[in-house]
Amino acid sequence: MPARRCVIFAGGELSELFLKEIDHEDYIIGADRGALFLINHGVIPDIAVGDFDSIKPDEFKLIEEKCPKVIACDPVDKDLTDSELALDLAIETQPEEILLFGVTGTRLDHTLAGIQMMARALQRQIRCSVMDLTNYVTITGSQALVQERGYTYVSLLPVTPEVTGITLQGFQYPLTDATLKLGQSLGISNRLTSQAGTVTIESGLLLIIQSKD
């Protein structure tokens, strides 16, 4: 039976606070250094994947000893990032939801790639989110429920050149049948007015970014 939710810990910025988000029924994937982070904090991932070029040989040996399954890739010949390899494995489990930690950090290229690859899960009708200490990012091509998670702002950014038919309910600044084009800042720094709001669009792909300073 497919897992309801798959949780990925990648090798970017990680915090012990993220461990509280794990449910005992989650299918857990550790990508590269993310696998070592989990093991060092008493959580055994169901699978570890990556080129493991950022860890020492003895640390990799620990991962091999602890994890039920390890997929090690050549760092030169592989075409995908460790996070993307983990996402592909998560999609194969056919979960209802995928939650990613450690895909943001100081490397802007890896951060953008981690956020953009959520669209691959959406193509399979799988909800996908990226979470770090100051942001919670989701993507939608139709309708999304935005729940109060302790973040101050909710911003909307188009992924496609144009997103049409944007309607917001439960927000301080409502929109009705609006259009956002790539590069516009109209959707920045909105706020929820209750415990949840809805974002509905007619066409395109839209990032929903909950954030705090």
State how far the Cα of 195 lies from the Cα of 208, in Å rounded to an integer.
Answer: 16
Q: Is the pLDDT of residue 15 over 90?
A: yes
Rounded mean pLDDT, 147-174: 96
Confidence of residue 122 (pLDDT cuts 50, 70, 90): very high
Can you give the pTM of this predicted structure? 0.93
Rg of the chain taking only CA atoms, in angstroms: 18
Rounded mean pLDDT, 98-121: 92
pLDDT of residue 76: 57
State how far the Cα of 136 lies from the Cα of 81, in Å rounded to an integer.
Answer: 21
Rounded mean pLDDT, 128-145: 96
Confidence of residue 70 (pLDDT cuts 50, 70, 90): very high
> Domains (ranges, CATH) in the chain?
5-132 (3.40.50.10240), 143-211 (2.60.120.320)
